[in-house]
Amino acid sequence: MDDVTKPLVGVIMGSHSDWTVMELCAKQLKELGVPHETKVISAHRTPDLLQSWVKASSKNGMEVIIAA
């Protein structure tokens, strides 16, 4: 994904250990050419950060969030 393309899909996980599951998701999105971003934000430890990210993502045109 280049810097000009805004992500349509967010792949978010609560910890780095979730990457083993979400990596396949991110790889499939890349193969399909779907602009996406991946983030690690704990809903338990940093709920305000997660809420801010979700709101900003929506305002920036993100259409789908896949969470683990």
Summarize pLDDT for 2-36 with one digit per residue, the tens. Answer: 456 789 999 999 999 999 999 999 999 999 999 99
pLDDT tens digit sequence for 29-67? 999 999 999 999 999 999 999 999 999 999 999 999 999
The encoded tokens of residue 46 equal: 């940093």
Question: What is the Cα–Cα distance from 60 to 44, expressed in whole angstroms?
Answer: 24
Question: What is the Cα–Cα distance from 16 to 56, expressed in whole angstroms?
Answer: 22
Q: Enumerate the domain spans of the chain.
A: 9-67
- Give all strands of the β-sheet with 9-13 in edge-to-edge order: 36-40, 9-13, 64-67
Question: What is the Cα–Cα distance from 16 to 49, expressed in whole angstroms?
Answer: 16
Q: Is the pTM of this model over 0.75?
A: yes
Burial letters 17-29, b for 16+ CB under 10 A, else e: eeeeebeebbeeb
